[in-house]
Structure formats: structure tokens, C-alpha cells
Amino acid sequence: MAVNLDKPHLWKNDIAKSVDFYNDWFMEFAPQAFRDTRVQTTKDVKSAFRWTKNLTNIKPDVLEKYPSILPMLRMATCPPIARDRLIGLAGVSPNLVKSMEVDERLPPQMKKVDLTANLEKIGSIIEKMADPDIFVWKDRGNEGTRKEIHRAATIVADRLCGAVANPIIRNAQERRQLSSIQTWLEKRGYRQLGPKEIEDFTSMPPSTFLFRYNVPVTLDGGKHVNIPIDAVIMRKTAKANEFPLLFEAKSAGDFTNVNKRRKEEAQKMTQLRNTYGKDITFDLFLCGYFDSGYLGYEASEGIDWVWEHRTEDLRHFGL
């Protein structure tokens, strides 16, 4: 039974309410989420300063021991260097830089001699381009005063947080959305399962739910991959062999990006149906800037949704 996908006469009003909901939350809570992250990031930057002797020792052995400090080092230059720009300037392996920044480790297959040479190049670029207005002690040939170090760490932390502002807000939004679903479900007698309580998502007992669960699918050619699902819910009335409901929590602060990425949900739906058949569902829990173009596209793919400002619509999914 369709809940919102077949009611285009309601979309315009819901879009307006959803935008207001998102903006109200953003004004009240987003600055705090950003500040909390900045406090922790400042502590992380100070740790990186300590390991590099306040940016006076960026040698291969330091980078090898602490690969995760590379994003901070990129923000310590003048101007701050994008990841791809560092790769080009230093002439180093893209795989090395990606591994250090994304996986926070060194590529396990890279030869020691190549690794050392690449890390030497990275350190040389950072030291050469270190921002002299921030790291005022470098020209003096010492490691700086406590006040200077704190000021520099705060500036670099601000740059880091500015570079990842959208993910910070997106993560805070997702936590709130899942909390909203959890509160609604628990008021109706549903219980959250631990990840080890079931063998797979099809064996969930009625009146239970899971968050951030990987559902395996089979792609063309037989390759097996996992699709991360934000909320997996087994109805109270579920019968044997019935699939749980799958929801993806999505929030957006502008209309442009959602329309660029709207095909991702349709792709997930196709992969799920190709693997499990037509009875499996994949729906959305929306908050923010989702316009009629986005909604129409998802509806045409058979994807339904619940607006966060009207969470009560979950009951229409049989919950």
C-alpha cells in the first residue's frame, strides 16, 4: 500500500514543512554540533603537533607511525592544500595519500623504499608551505610557546572543520533521524536488537528493529556486496518468511545535491529486488530540501517515504 508516493497533491505542502523543519533544527543545533567537533578536532591537532614537534619534524618515520595526521598537515599550509593538489605537488602515489587519509594506515603492499621516498616528498612539501602566520616559531628555530601552539591548533582545527562541515552536519542529522525513529518504535513496543542477536536480517523476530545494518546483495556477474541500511524494522504482524521494512534516513540542506544523487536509491532498490524478489521494499525517511523532481523520480521507481515532520506516517507501513 502506497503511503506518500501516490499523493502528489500533498507534496508541495510537505516540501515547505520539511524545509522549515530542517532550517529550524540547523539554526538551533548545527552550530553546537560544529563546535563540539571543533573542540575534539583541536585536541587531535594538538596531538599531531606533539608527534611532529610542532611541525618542525615531518619525517617519514613520523608519518609512517601516525598516517592519520595527513589531513591536518594539509590544512597547516598556506594556502591549505586539497588532497589531489598534494598528490600533484609532491608527485606521490594517489593510493598512498588515500590510504593515509581514508583508511588511516599505510598501503600494506607498498615497498619500503617507495614508501620512504613518497613520505619524504610529502613532508618536504608540508614543511616548505607551512603557514608562517600560524607557525610563527618556525622562523625562530624553536617549537613555540604554549599560547602560540594553542592558537595555531585552533586555526588548523577551524580549517579542518570547515573542510568537512557538510559531513559534520549530515552525521548529526542522521543521529537525530534515527533517534526519532527509535523513539516512535519503542513507544509502540518495538525492541532494538543487538547486531549479534540474529543470523541475518531475514531472521528478525516480530516487533524488533536494527540500525545501520549491512544487507548482502548479488550484483550482475555474481559478485556479492553489502548495502548499508539505516533502519531495518520487522512488523509486529510479520508472518514467517516476511521481509522486514528497510528505510534509509536522508537529510539535505539544499535542492541541488539531492537531485544529483537521486539515482543512488533507485540503484539500491534494483539490487535488492534482483537479489530477494519483488516483495522486498526500500523506502526513505526524509528531512529537508527534497523537491517534486526528486520525489517524482523516487515514486517512479516504487520507492515510498516518510517525512520526519510527520513521523506518524510510519504506522501506514503496518508498524
Of 122, 143, 165, the last residue of a domain is: 165
Question: Is residue 135 within 8 Å of 76, Cβ to Cβ?
Answer: yes
Cα 122 versus chain centre, distance:
27
- Total count of residues recorded for the chain: 319
- 259 or 290, which is more confident: 290
Distance, first Cα to last Cα, the chain: 13
Residue range 52-102, pLDDT digits in tens: 888 888 999 999 999 989 989 988 888 888 888 999 989 998 899 999 988
What's the pLDDT at 142?
Answer: 75
Q: Please give the Cα distance from 245 to 234 (Å, whole number).
A: 6
- Same domain for 81 and 148? yes
Nearest to 85 by CA among 129, 55, 120: 129
Q: How sure is the predictor about 243, in pLDDT bands with cuts at 50, 70 and 90?
A: very high
Q: How sure is the predictor about 309, in pLDDT bands with cuts at 50, 70 and 90?
A: very high
Range of the domain at 243: 8-29+167-317
Percent of the chain with pLDDT over 90: 38
Question: Is residue 181 within 8 Å of 187, Cβ to Cβ?
Answer: no
Q: How sure is the predictor about 190, in pLDDT bands with cuts at 50, 70 and 90?
A: very high
Residue range 134-154, pLDDT digits in tens: 888 877 877 778 888 888 888
- Same domain for 171 and 250? yes
What's the pLDDT at 191?
Answer: 94
* Average pLDDT across the chain, whole number: 88
Asked if pLDDT for residue 274 goes beyond 80, the answer is yes
Q: How sure is the predictor about 298, in pLDDT bands with cuts at 50, 70 and 90?
A: very high
- Same domain for 294 and 260? yes
Rg (CA), the chain: 24
Strand partners, 191: 208
- Same domain for 94 and 179? no
Mean pLDDT of 242-271: 85
Strand partners, 307: 286
Mean pLDDT of 118-127: 91
Question: Is residue 2 within 8 Å of 294, Cβ to Cβ?
Answer: no
- Same domain for 129 and 234? no
Q: Please give the Cα distance from 138 to 144 (Å, whole number).
A: 8
Mean pLDDT of 113-120: 92
What's the pLDDT at 210?
Answer: 93
Spatial neighbors of 143 by CB under 8 A, at least 6 apart, are 53, 54, 56, 137, 149
Nearest to 210 by CA among 246, 175, 242: 246
- Same domain for 183 and 41? no
Query: Does residue 1 sit within a domain?
Result: no
Q: Please give the Cα distance from 252 to 166 (Å, whole number).
A: 10
- Same domain for 304 and 187? yes
Asked if pLDDT for residue 247 goes beyond 90, the answer is yes
What's the pLDDT at 315?
Answer: 94
Q: Please give the Cα distance from 205 to 78 (Å, whole number).
A: 57
Cα 175 versus chain centre, distance:
11
- Same domain for 279 and 155? no
- Sign of torsion, CA 253 255 261 263? positive
Would you state the cell numbers that stand for residue 60, as one nine-digit string?
Answer: 617519514
What's the pLDDT at 165?
Answer: 66
Cell 519483488 maps to which residue? Answer: 278
Nearest to 202 by CA among 257, 148, 169, 241: 241
Of 165, 191, 220, the last residue of a domain is: 165
Look at strands 224-234 and 283-288 and give their pairing. unpaired
Q: How many CB atoms lie within 10 A of CB 272?
A: 19
Nearest to 115 by CA among 172, 78, 61, 167: 61
What's the pLDDT at 239?
Answer: 87
Q: How sure is the predictor about 164, in pLDDT bands with cuts at 50, 70 and 90?
A: low
- Same domain for 254 and 147? no
What's the pLDDT at 208?
Answer: 94
Q: Kindly report the CATH number assigned to the domain that includes residue 276.
A: 3.40.1350.10
Going from the C-alpha of 42 to that of each of 46, 82, 158, 238, the distances in angstroms are 6, 20, 8, 49
